[in-house]
Amino acid sequence: MILEKIPTVDLNDYVNGDEATKAAFVKALGDSFSEIGFAIVDNHGVEASVIEGAYKAFKDFFALDEATKRKYEEPELAGQRGYISKGREHAKGAKVADLKEFYHIGQIVEDGDPIKENYPDNVFPAEVPEVEKYGVNLYQSLEGSGKQLLRAIAEYLDLPVKYFDDKVHNGNSILRPIHYYGIQNPDDLPEGAVRAAAHEDINLITLLIGASADGLQVLTKEGNWLAAKPEPHQIVINVGDMLQRLTNNRLKSTTHRVVNPPKEVLHLPRYSVPFFLHPKSNMDLTSLESCISAENPKQYEDMTAGEYLDQRLREIGLKK
């Protein structure tokens, strides 16, 4: 059967449903992750006022002049925190940088966990204080939703329901507000440049809060590009490479991209805010024994999450 749209699930069914409703959610989410690696989520638990406030704050920051924005760029952090300017990131194997600039907000450790020493401090712009106010709130809200989704995935994999809890508590997750800037003159578009070239995500799962314009496309197993078009109140979630490695390809880290709009609207910007849910760096990504069989032999070498992240950051140009 050819997939014509990305399946939708309702997180409230899992958080507040009875046993049968929860079980149906677990199966629907797990099957969608196995089939296409993506799902669209209703009732994700993030308040609309937080999303709206965050979007406005991020747009206000990206509207600042280049010199001001670059005050918050710290290349020695390999893009872990603060501003990342135009032209710095490209997809793995791509020769042209993506048409975007973005900002990184990282983990906020509040319980005295010594892991805080492993994380650089967040960098927030004084000119737009709302970036910190709404960015931290959005980060923590999406982290909470992500933990619920991972519990459902643990059940789908016949693991203890809280299998991921300690691994993602104070994990190395990143909130990334992105500005895909407009190109005023189509003739100025670099050859082969797109808003985000085809790629897969590095982390366990990604939660994407909406977007101000269309463009996100997902590659199906039949080789077709399928548009991901959530409603304004929904979020898109997808499997990252770490979860794919852990499950030995049972759950799919699917190739996706953000294509350029038609020339007549190429001058219009696009904004989106993905939350990349990462575990702690010491999480063992060795493929689960339950996901290895004669029909599906082990595909990956053993590696920790930190080792894999370091490898991928070098491949996409953020780390030298």
Q: Where are the domains of the chain?
A: 8-315
**Packed helices 19-35 and 130-156: angle between N→C axes, nearest 10 degrees:** 100
Residue 97 Cα to chain centre, angstroms: 19
Q: State the pLDDT at residue 319.
A: 67
Q: State the pLDDT at residue 317.
A: 72
Contacts of 317 (CB under 8 A, 6+ apart): 88, 89, 90, 97
Distance CA 240, CA 97 (A): 21
| Three-class secondary structure of residue 37 per DSSP | coil
Contacts of 194 (CB under 8 A, 6+ apart): 98, 99, 257, 258, 259, 260
Looking at residue 132, the DSSP 8-state letter turns out to be H
Task: Give the confidence band of 231 by pLDDT, cuts at 50, 70, 90.
Answer: confident
Class of the CATH domain delimited by 8-315: mainly beta
Instruction: Indicate the average pLDDT of the chain.
Output: 92
pLDDT, tens digit (0-9, with 9 covering 90-100), for 273-305: 999 999 999 999 999 999 999 999 999 999 999
In terms of DSSP H, where are the helices of the chain? Answer: 11-16, 19-35, 48-62, 66-70, 130-156, 165-168, 241-246, 305-315
Task: Give the confidence band of 87 by pLDDT, cuts at 50, 70, 90.
Answer: confident
pLDDT, tens digit (0-9, with 9 covering 90-100), for 152-161: 999 999 999 9
Mean pLDDT of 167-188: 91
Kindly report the pTM of this predicted structure.
0.93
Q: State the pLDDT at residue 320.
A: 67
